[in-house]
């Protein structure tokens, strides 16, 4: 009879064991949440860097093609840069060709912070720190988010 009583008493967890297990789980969760937030933020930063690089490379290729005479003569005030980002997706007819187009982007990449394809743009005539687009051409792009990177620099300055 004494052995049965002892087994019955030992079959469950004590309150102290439950408190210790709950405390351990709480500490582990508290450590995991900031790491998960950091990873999400870092993934967005990597995606932003790739998207900016893709658009800027396309702008440079457009300018190179224009300077090489592969595109029709540029409109006034564009200086050989694209008029809009949409032009690089739709394509531009090659100089001296009836139906042949050059496309510089398959699609406009999404800004991971705004989750939109609307980018801030600067024309060649705009001030480098301007937040309003002059509309003459697309010389550069930037993110429209107001968030800042870990080092304190705004993502709009990347």
Instruction: Give percent of the chain above pLDDT 90.
Output: 63
pLDDT digits (tens, 9 = 90+) for 17-58: 889 999 999 998 888 888 888 999 999 999 999 999 999 999
Report whether 82 contacts 133 (CB < 8 A). no
Report whether 130 contacts 121 (CB < 8 A). no
Bigger pLDDT: 143 vs 3 = 143
* Phi, psi of 116, rounded to the nearest 5 degrees: -140, 160
pTM: 0.79
Using DSSP's 3-state secondary structure scheme, residue 58 falls into helix
Report whether 144 contacts 112 (CB < 8 A). no
pLDDT digits (tens, 9 = 90+) for 93-148: 888 877 889 999 999 999 999 999 999 999 989 888 888 888 899 999 999 999 99
């Amino acid at each position: 009879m004494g052995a049965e009583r002892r087994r019955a008493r030992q079959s469950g967890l004590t309150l102290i064991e439950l408190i210790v297990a709950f405390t351990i789980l709480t500490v582990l969760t508290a450590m995991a949440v900031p790491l998960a937030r950091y990873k999400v933020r870092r993934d967005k930063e990597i995606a932003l860097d790739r998207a900016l690089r893709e658009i800027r490379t396309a702008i440079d290729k457009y300018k190179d093609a224009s300077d090489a005479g592969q595109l029709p003569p540029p409109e006034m005030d564009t200086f050989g840069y694209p008029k809009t980002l949409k032009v690089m997706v739709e394509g531009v007819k090659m100089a001296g060709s009836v139906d042949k187009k050059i496309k510089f982007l398959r699609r406009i990449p999404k800004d991971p912070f705004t989750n939109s394809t609307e980018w801030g743009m600067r024309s060649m005539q705009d001030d480098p720190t301007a937040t309003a687009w002059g509309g003459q051409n697309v010389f550069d792009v930037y993110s429209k988010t107001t968030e800042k990177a870990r080092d304190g620099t705004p993502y709009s300055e990347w």
